[in-house]
Structure 1
């Protein structure tokens, strides 16, 4: 199970570790700037503490053979579903959503950890069915397996995270032995269904598919909104990024962030802080680091020693890429406000810990790959 043999740590993939650390460092600087107006130094200290704890979690996970973890995928899946049910029954509510478990000294968001657990469990299931992937039984069982946590997360309600869960499955299925014709058919049906559902939601104020506040965000995206209402944060975010120009105003020099014109910017709108204070070059640098991480992850998936490892890495990298795109799409008004954090950069213990546990799994797969090469 736990493997700490001589020379093991020498196989740690620096091209995965370094981009992650850089992103976390950028995040801590941006969080520090976003909270400096109020003197809330405690938030920065908490994020640093979250990082240290996350580092320990990552090291622990990357030293447990992922094949051994895969043997327990049913148990991990049952625990994940049980915790998601507990959130709906006894979870803490905030802003009309019930997404947290209050432990007294900290509030955890189980859906963040559920994404990592689902990546592991679904990877094992797809690996078991990979040689017969195009059968109705295989596709149906995998779909049902993913559908249960999707529904439980969506009921919190947490539409953005539940959609990420679906995208993780799509990425994993794409790199499996599923026939390309089936993939294209599902993609076409999915796109058409999404267009129809969006059209219905926008045209029907009394629809029951999603919550009213979620509908308002979608309608605002397509029809425009009040800069003092649903569109307020996005409007201020665009102003902040635009005012940064090419080089930015400098750390702690952003007027919009420093004067609190962009509330809670250290959470989902941290990119706006980076844009205002480090400019277009800062945003491009941030995107470049994320792309380096994603590119390296793709290579690790491609060279993984087995299908199980490949699906783990593909699912995790798909999650990082999706959340990064959605988060940046929100702060630039390309997408409606979703409340999805930027991986490794936005403030939050649950998000950072879950992402670092996921990175531990990816490093685990990477080191096994190196182990077979030498």
Structure 2
């Protein structure tokens, strides 16, 4: 379980980058909402850091011996939220324990990355056989289907993107990739036809509304609340100009101060960053996230076993795709959807899950020398 690791291989750079990014998140959350939420986020950083340190000192190969337990825990948590979860905003995604709310789908992404990496390392010689891919599809469809059932379309799509990235890094043949891409194109076509029907079957009515209002040029559409959110988000980012209006400002012209941006502490936190820290602040946050992604990719390159490489690739994919989607929504490049900005947006489940996943990445970094000596 615990091994003697050399401290010089501990990736302090990654820890520092995560803490700086999370610290900026606390400051922006305090400005976007209130001190109470910022304090809870700060407590989340403390809990996450403790989990990161503990996990980083546990041999990930020992941890992955219990990948089936991880998978079953993932499915159990998602089933739990399905039957006993708290419903809000058309979805049942949270477990309310009174003193804390937990969002299982955030932990599901990390658990699925670990379980998938282990399965692919065990059967890497069978990866490009249709029989194995069919079994793997069934294996993955249970947790992914449960997330979709919540419903949480954005997290479902994000999880699928992470899965495809890990499969590609594992050596999936281009022939199979081509077939998958063709299948996705066909599915998009089917969904496009479905959303034009009076009663869509494949996705929820509110999801249809978000897609149609995003595509519609009519700003006065009665169902375009999401479009208005994005409109004000873009205005907020633009009004910050180069250096921003400053955190906790009392500017009467502030979009944030006028409460025009819903969920300013979560889905649209990048709008607050743009308005109050300006173009410079936005670039700094994106640079920090890019450096975190780079450290994960570097860990993947240096990893001395197949499993470690896939885990690092999965974590890099998670942070990069989620950042792209969150910023894309805030800048009106993508339809309005609910995904937090990694390490920055308010949300203890997302924060703690990411810290835990990064703990595994750090352990992989520390073991590169032990493999050299084998």
Distance in 1, matches of 2:118 and 2:349, equals: 24
Between 1:253-262 and 1:25-34, the stretch displaced more is 253-262
User: How has the CA–CA distance of structure 1 residues 29 and 70 changed in structure 2, closer, same or farther, with 3 Å as cutoff?
Assistant: same
Aligned to 2:234: 238
Secondary structure at 1:271 match in 2: helix
Aligned to 1:110: 104
Aligned to 1:11: 9
Alpha-carbon distance, 1:373 to partner: 4.8
Between 1:221-230 and 1:109-118, the stretch displaced more is 221-230
Q: Is the contact made by 1:330 and 1:336 (CA closer than 8 Å) also made in structure 2?
A: yes
Aligned to 1:152: 146
Alignment match of 1:120 (pick from 96, 114, 119): 114
Alignment match of 1:87 (pick from 44, 67, 81): 81
| 1:32-78 Cα distance to aligned partner (Å, 9 max, x none) | 1112xxxx311111000000001111111111111111111112111
Alignment match of 2:36 (pick from 23, 36, 42): 42
Q: Is the contact made by 1:252 and 1:258 (CA closer than 8 Å) also made in structure 2?
A: no
Alignment match of 2:91 (pick from 94, 97, 117): 97
Q: Is the contact made by 1:237 and 1:269 (CA closer than 8 Å) also made in structure 2?
A: yes
User: How has the CA–CA distance of structure 1 residues 226 and 19 changed in structure 2, closer, same or farther, with 3 Å as cutoff?
Assistant: farther
Aligned to 1:196: 189
Distance in 1, matches of 2:358 and 2:240, equals: 32
Q: Does 1:319 align with 2:351?
A: no
Alpha-carbon distance, 1:196 to partner: 0.1
Alpha-carbon distance, 1:370 to partner: 4.0
Distance in 2, matches of 1:152 and 1:82, equals: 10
TM-score normalised according to structure 2 size: 0.94
Alignment match of 1:216 (pick from 209, 214, 223): 209
Distance in 1, matches of 2:186 and 2:154, equals: 17
Distance in 2, matches of 1:178 and 1:263, equals: 41
Q: Is the contact made by 2:191 and 2:202 (CA closer than 8 Å) also made in structure 1?
A: no
Aligned to 2:127: 133
Distance in 2, matches of 1:226 and 1:54, equals: 43
Q: Unaligned stretches of 5+ in structure 1?
A: none
| 1:109-162 Cα distance to aligned partner (Å, 9 max, x none) | 011001110000011111111122111122112222111101000000111111
| Aligned residues between the structures | 367
Q: Does 1:22 align with 2:20?
A: yes
Aligned to 1:165: 159
Secondary structure at 1:258 match in 2: coil
Distance in 1, matches of 2:59 and 2:131, equals: 29
Q: Does 1:52 align with 2:50?
A: no
Aligned-residue Cα RMSD (Å) equals: 1.7
Secondary structure at 1:256 match in 2: coil
Secondary structure at 1:53 match in 2: helix
Alpha-carbon distance, 1:194 to partner: 4.3
Distance in 2, matches of 1:295 and 1:65, equals: 23
Q: Is the contact made by 2:64 and 2:115 (CA closer than 8 Å) also made in structure 1?
A: yes
| 1:190-233 Cα distance to aligned partner (Å, 9 max, x none) | 2x124303421442241121111111111111114448723222
Alpha-carbon distance, 1:295 to partner: 1.6
Alpha-carbon distance, 1:171 to partner: 0.7
Between 1:141-150 and 1:218-227, the stretch displaced more is 218-227
Aligned to 2:2: 2
Alpha-carbon distance, 1:278 to partner: 1.5
User: How has the CA–CA distance of structure 1 residues 268 and 50 changed in structure 2, closer, same or farther, with 3 Å as cutoff?
Assistant: same
Q: Is the contact made by 1:34 and 1:266 (CA closer than 8 Å) also made in structure 2?
A: yes
